[in-house]
Amino acid sequence: MTGEPVIGKLDGSLTRKNRGSRKFLTVLLFSTGTLLVTVLAPSVAAAAASNDYCNVLIGASTDGGDSPIVASACASTPEGADRALKTKTSGKKSSGGFSTQASNTTPLVYLYADINYAGSYTTILGDAGYCDSAGYSINLAEHDNAWAHKVSSIRGASLCTGANLEGANYNATQVISTYRCEPMPSLGSWNDNVLRIKPRFDSSCPKVSGSGG
């Protein structure tokens, strides 16, 4: 005789979704005493790693164009992103002739998802050294995690004391821009509207300090 199944969890600690790569076990116990155990693979969303933190190494801006992306890496923690980028750039030389590995410790600017330097963030690092008056040009649509229209606060580092921000007007028919000194704990009307940032050294702006998270 086939009995009605009683469905339960083998481990109560697995009842929540998105438990990393751990699989979910479902136990079916029939009244006949037959025990059926099925192993269900986690959902795609559960299996996919969170990439809330990114490091992007860029080259110098030439002829007014955007800085090329030398290497980039994202991870679920800032430390993981640091390790991933160092692995990608190990042994390589920068356009300035020094070790790209060493340049990873010299961030130019931090881009945050929330105001007051909160939430996930991306660290932009310069392959050509510190900010100068020429600066770098960062096209956010080209970077990991698609930071275009996501930036809510900005913090500069390594002599990047000012930045020109570019975005779109209300109906996206033309490019608009503004120039500000860093840091920028809130972007006001520019919140989630930055498409390109050009950090540079500006002696008229206050000195910058600090780090990402």
Distances (CA, A) of 4 to 8, 32, 175: 13, 9, 65
pLDDT of residue 172: 67
Query: What's the helix, strand, coil split of the chain in %, to 5?
Result: 15, 35, 50
pLDDT (mean) for 67-85 = 90
pLDDT tens track for 37-60? 433 343 333 334 467 899 998 888
Residues β-bridged to residue 71: 57
Distance CA 51, CA 96 (A): 30
Enumerate residues 6+ apart whose C-beta is below 8 A from 30.
Answer: 2, 3, 4, 5, 6, 36
pLDDT tens track for 91-123? 665 555 444 554 556 789 999 999 999 999 999
**Domains, in order of start, for the chain:** 6-47 (no CATH), 53-200 (2.60.20.10)
Say what the pTM is. Answer: 0.69
Distance CA 121, CA 144 (A): 11
pLDDT tens track for 179-199? 999 999 999 989 999 999 999
The gap between the terminal CA atoms of the chain, to the nearest Å, is: 62
Distance CA 6, CA 32 (A): 11
